[in-house]
Amino acid sequence: MREIVVRLHRWIGLATAAFLFVAGLTGAIIAFNHELDEWLNPELFHASSPGAPIAPLTLAARVEAAEPRLRVTYIPLEREPGHALVLGVAGRLDPKTQLPYELGYNEVFLDPVTGARLGEREWGVCCFSRKQAIPFIYSIHYTLHLPGLWGVWVMGAIALAWAVDCFAGFYLTLPARRRARAEDGVQRASFWRRWRPAWGVKFGANRARVNFDLHRAGGLWFWAVLFALAVSAVSLNLHFEVFRPMLSLVTPLTPSPFDPAEVARRTIAPEPGVPYETILSTGKAEAARRGWPEPGDVFFSPETGVYGVGFGDHHAAGLGAPYLFFDSATGRVMSEHVPGKGTAGDVVLQTMFPLHSGQIIGLPGRIAICLTGIAVAMLSVTGVVIWAKKRKGRRALAARAGRDARAARVVHETPLVVAKPAARATQRRASQTSAAGTD
């Protein structure tokens, strides 16, 4: 059994090492993506004009009026002093081609007091200019910046293999003998004494031993967080393809308005039937009835025909803010997302992004995710080093075995070669002795 697990851990580790190295380092960076993005691009995010801010819906309407080819798809409703208003935008459908207009950007930065346009950018495009660096790193983290859905699926598959490998790696840290046997206290103590070294690093040992200890102990100390990251990554990248169907086998789930099967059953008009103002008015009334806070943001998804209104601060610690989802054609409430409520499966789904980002416990969680990202990169490198060293050792053993086998053949064959001349010499001496006796 152990040999099978060793091989499984080896090949999954080698197949995923490069991907996890990249995901670990980029994940460590984007744990603080908002702060880093603002630090790198103060001209986009900072606005200090004095005066009362203009209503966000008014600013959004001005942007659409100034550029008829675009539609505002995201509007933050919370106003942060000294900060720009960042709108999400997308191209409307070109009536000639029935394809969205190419705008060259999907974010617009506005001064909330004057309405002046501070800039725009295409979120996630290549590469490392100040304006694009953090969004590009974010894109690399979960899609490798591959086109379409390919990157999302590849990283989802890597996460799925990683989740399996977490158990394989943990199993291999356990003592090889009497792994599951502990009938009495003496055996239990013996088990823990034999397992305890796996949790430490002998920094005074040679480099190979330190590398091995870092790999084994790092995997143990971070195991719970590593497994949580792997599972949540599967949920985020393969949500409707893998995670949601598997979860539905063990617990009921509330239907999602973004489920591709649900979207396919709806008729989605190229333009919404109701404006933002109507959606927001209905949302405020529904929130008052439920005892929710004021709306914090509102968005429109052209691909699914869904409006969403969030209530409260969606960056706050915990499971996030509650949301109401509306049919863009009629303005009716389709469903609600209430953190901590719903079926057991709903609550599991609600924890995935807050868990993956560390937001679930606020700043300490984000720091933990940053450190775990560095640990993932370290485990990827040390694992490859262990494999390379063992591979070199296996080749050396194979070469030595080959040399020993050749030497054994020489020793075995040499007497046969020498025996023939010796036999001839003996025969000659016997013939000579016989001839002399005759004479």
The CATH number linked to 289 is: 3.10.450
pLDDT recorded at residue 228: 96
pLDDT recorded at residue 349: 95
pLDDT recorded at residue 300: 96
pLDDT recorded at residue 414: 62
| pLDDT of 357 over the 80 cut | yes
d(CA 286, CA 177): 61
Average pLDDT, the chain: 89
Residue closest to 88 by CA, chosen among 70, 101, 102: 70
- Residue 316 resides in a domain: yes
- Residue 299 resides in a domain: yes
| pLDDT of 422 over the 60 cut | no
Domain boundaries, position 297: 260-340
- Give per-residue pLDDT as tens, 96-115: 888 999 999 999 999 999 99
pLDDT recorded at residue 234: 97
- Residue 325 resides in a domain: yes
- Residue 311 resides in a domain: yes
- Residue 215 resides in a domain: no
Q: How many CB atoms lie within 10 A of CB 237?
A: 23
pLDDT recorded at residue 313: 85
pLDDT recorded at residue 182: 46
Q: Are strands 107-110 and 295-301 parallel, antiparallel or unpaired?
A: unpaired
d(CA 323, CA 254): 14
pLDDT-wise least confident of 53-62, 262-271, 295-304? 262-271
Over pLDDT 70: what percentage of the chain?
A: 91
d(CA 287, CA 96): 41
- Give per-residue pLDDT as tens, 79-101: 888 899 999 999 999 888 889 99
The long-range contacts involving 207-216, CB below 8 angstroms and separated by at least 24 positions, are 208/389, 211/382, 211/385, 211/386, 211/389, 212/382, 212/386, 214/378, 214/382, 215/379, 215/382, 215/383, 215/386, 216/173
- Give per-residue pLDDT as tens, 263-297: 988 888 888 999 999 999 999 999 999 999 999 99
- Residue 315 resides in a domain: yes
- Residue 324 resides in a domain: yes
| pLDDT of 427 over the 70 cut | no
103-129: average pLDDT = 94
- Give per-residue pLDDT as tens, 428-439: 554 554 444 444
60-77: average pLDDT = 95
| pLDDT of 186 over the 70 cut | no
The long-range contacts involving 190-194, CB below 8 angstroms and separated by at least 24 positions, are none
- Give per-residue pLDDT as tens, 358-407: 999 999 999 999 999 999 999 999 999 999 998 888 888 888 877 777 77
pLDDT-wise least confident of 103-117, 127-141, 168-182, 227-241? 168-182
| pLDDT of 246 over the 80 cut | yes
pLDDT recorded at residue 184: 52
- Residue 329 resides in a domain: yes
pLDDT recorded at residue 78: 87
- The domain total for the chain is 1
pLDDT-wise least confident of 127-136, 152-161, 176-185, 238-247? 176-185
| pLDDT of 421 over the 80 cut | no
Q: How many CB atoms lie within 10 A of CB 370?
A: 17
- Give per-residue pLDDT as tens, 201-221: 999 899 999 999 999 999 999
